Amino acid sequence: MNDGKVMFLRQISLLLRSGIPLLRVLNILNDQQKGFAGIKIAKIIHKIEAGGSFSEALAEGGNFREFISSIRIAENSGTLEESLARAADLAESKMNFKKGLIKSMAYPAVVLSLSFVCLIFLLVFILPMFTRMFSDNSIPIPLITRIVISVSDQWLIIIGGIFLLVPVVFCLWRNIDLRFKIPYLGGVFRRLHLAEACHNIGSQLEAGVPAIESIRSARDGAASKKISNSIAEILSGVGSGRSFSRTLHDSGIFPPFVVQMAMVGEESGALGKMLVTAGNMLEAQAEESLRKITLLIEPAATLTVGLIVGFIAFSVMMPLFSMMGSML
């Protein structure tokens, strides 16, 4: 969800609260459309003018899948502006959290990138100078130095291999379920997607959407196939008359505290609120885990690069020491 889509929801909500009819609101936004990337307002207007509903028009465009059910209910109950405001708040919260995750990972990424550039500079420019000096002066070269020199001689192959590896890693990264298998970070991604599922179901329940439809919407909106399949099991269980908390437990993918909160929510009649709270707690856990990982990555990256640079420096100095020893 980008800034433009959040602004789209919020502006419609504000204009509807001002008493402006929906079609007029859409025409206003279409005339001054800015920043609504991926949203074809003219198509939405055409769909409504042809007799379709606003929720149908949004669904046809493929946008806001997780909010379609609550928007449909709000249209029928006359509370569309409140539903859109709630959807905008939820979308903005998720967007800001993801921005925070990216920001927290930016510094370690910069450190690793600069370290990689420094190592390439050493191997490509500095080490060959010493290699020529050793060769010109017929200095005996120890095994460690020969290994480092042989690696530097293959720098083109090494860099080419890294650049070929980048698109492969990118393709694998786009597979959400493969992200779950990354050591340490996998748990963070899992919590984030489970939090999104809790938010989607909980917010729709709070908006008055029936449980079956709320769960179905969360299933269709899940980016992870594994989580989508688990939500499908929950949907099947609830559809057959079992309690939501029991099916949540049997799915085996949600943490025990989420199951307990769902159970309390069912007993108190506040399931939607409890699921939204559980989603917030999962996000807080993911943020804390990521903070700890970031704190570990920074010194680990610095130490690793320091050891590699030190090893290269030591391998270069060994022949020099040998030469100086022979001169004494």
The answer to whether 207 and 73 have CB atoms below 8 angstroms apart is yes
* CA geometry: angle 120, 123, 125, nearest 5 deg: 95
pLDDT at 67 over 80: no
Domain ranges of the chain: 3-63, 91-328
Q: What is the pLDDT of residues 235-291, one digit of tens each?
A: 999 999 999 999 999 988 899 999 999 999 999 989 999 998 998 899 888 888 888
How far is it, in rounded angstroms, from Cα 242 to Cα 231?
14
Query: What integer pLDDT is reported at residue 233 of this predicted model?
Result: 92
pTM of this prediction?
Answer: 0.69
pLDDT averaged over the chain?
A: 81
Query: What integer pLDDT is reported at residue 246 of this predicted model?
Result: 92
How far is it, in rounded angstroms, from Cα 167 to Cα 325?
49
Query: What integer pLDDT is reported at residue 327 of this predicted model?
Result: 57
How far is it, in rounded angstroms, from Cα 82 to Cα 88?
10
Residues 6+ apart with CB under 8 A from 185: 179, 290, 293
The answer to whether 276 and 202 have CB atoms below 8 angstroms apart is yes
Determine if residue 208 is left, alpha or beta; phi over 0 gives left, psi from -120 to 50 gives alpha, anything else beta: left
Beta-carbon count within 10 A of 188 CB = 20
How far is it, in rounded angstroms, from Cα 242 to Cα 149?
67
- Record: fold of 91-328: Receptor-associated Protein (1.20.81)
Q: Model confidence at 37, in pLDDT bands (50, 70, 90)? A: low
Intra-chain end-to-end CA distance of the chain, in Å: 71
